[in-house]
Chains A and B, each alone.
Chain A
Amino acid sequence: MDSGIQITRNGRPAIPAAPTPFSERAGGLRALAVDTLQVNVGKLCNQACKHCHVDASPIRTEIMSAEVVDECLRVIREFSIPTLDITGGAPELNPNFRRFVTEARWFGANVIVRHNLTVMHEDGQNDLPEFFAKNEVEIVSSLPYFQQTQTDAQRGTGVFERSISALRRLNDVGYGTSGKLKLNLVYNPVGAFLPPAQSAIEADFKRELKSRYGIVFNNLYTITNMPIARYLDWLRRSGNELSYITKLVGAFNPSTLEGLMCRSMISVDWTGRLFDCDFNQMLELGPTDGTPRTIFDFDAEKLRKRMIATADHCYGCTAGAGSSCGGTVA
């Protein structure tokens, strides 16, 4: 029995407590727009990364149904949502995934897929690069470091090598090289520390991946590890929880508040429930002020003005230069 997981779960997702409550530092946050519908189509994944805030793994069974996918598509069409951001788990393992992408593109949405690279090597997924290219999907892929040791330590043995071969496949179909096919990578710290300056580490990644493996990509996003779920378990087991939370609080930067992703997106879970972000989704921290609770009663006007539910984990998005699904925000 893993005692760390018992401590964190205890029947409910654990939210870390900071010495100074986030609400005292940030005040009340209100949404500014709903430009992005971020849809988590399920927790099934071919990997089980140590820092995963979804607790995704090959044994998870939560998968979004065709009915909920249809409702997301209706919302994109009816409300002209500019961007659909599909995440998981490994979203490609949802049987409705390709239809979801194709139809959203018909409706004119930009489609981002948070693609873990290695899923391309699973049965029936080998043509993913061609599928992505045909639909002009923007790909965002985690590669925590340009060396094998760090990447495998976080994402599992052999992941680095399989990620490199997947990146080569994506380059082969034009990703990262032409204007239309965007391939963005994500750096996140392999441990209990904050990410470096995005521009500096992006230059390293570009130089090293090109010289070592001949790989090119568009942008590198740095993302701060969020102290919840599996990563919080690890922080507790490794004796780093207090120092990490203290570090996040100490690095609080008020100039990140304006650009926080929760202010311009809405997150949908596999059952269709709405949240302010994927982290709140995992913590089951729903909207608080009577705004629509599910995709079935989506109301863009109400959601655009909603109050955002915050707790002390939100320090993860406001530390230093800030953190979002698109990298730094300040």
Chain B
Amino acid sequence: MHYYNEEDLARFGEMAKYRPELFEKFLAWYTACQEEGALSKREKALIGLAVAVTVQCPYCIEAFTNSCLENGSNMDQMTEAMHLASAIRGGASLVHGIQSHNAHDKVSM
């Protein structure tokens, strides 16, 4: 028994077993978000991959890696997207260093 099983991604629909109306609403929203719109499907797949890496969801990472490839992206482009997401995440931590500076300044002469 692992907490994450590869086969479980295909079982996502089983979340409709209870309160199916909530899952249906989620699925409609999730699907609509990935349709071609002001952003292309390829751009959305790259955003999806970047977010998937950021939230560290193994199911989403696999799904959006495939989605990127099936929308014609290559590993250079996908890696840039993942670096950007990671850099923002790192920067978000680092900018909190100012809180430390502030705290330091408050108690220091």
Contacts and interface: CB of A to CB of B under 8 A. Distances in A.
B64 to A, nearest CB: 12
Contacts of B42: 196, 200
B73 to A, nearest CB: 8
B70 interface: yes
A191 interface: yes
Contacts of A194: 70
A132 B24 CA distance: 56
Interface residues of A, number: 14
A200 B40 contact: yes
Contacts of A204: 72
A195 B42 CA distance: 12
A174 interface: no
B66 A193 contact: yes
Contacts of A246: 10
Range of interface residues on B (Cβ < 8 Å): 10 to 19
Given A200-B40, A200-B42, A145 B74 contact: yes
B70 A195 contact: yes
Nearest to A251: B70
A145 B69 CA distance: 12
Contacts of A150: 74
Interface string A189-213: 1010111110011001000000000
Interface string A38-50: 0000000000000
A196 B42 CA distance: 9
A196 B74 contact: no
A323 B70 CA distance: 14
Interface string A134-167: 0000000000010100100000000000000000
Top 7 nearest A-B pairs (CB, nearest first) are A196-B72, A201-B72, A193-B69, A196-B71, A194-B70, A193-B70, A193-B66
Interface of A: 145, 147, 150, 189, 191, 193-197, 200-201, 204, 246
Interface of B: 10, 40-42, 66, 69-72, 74, 76
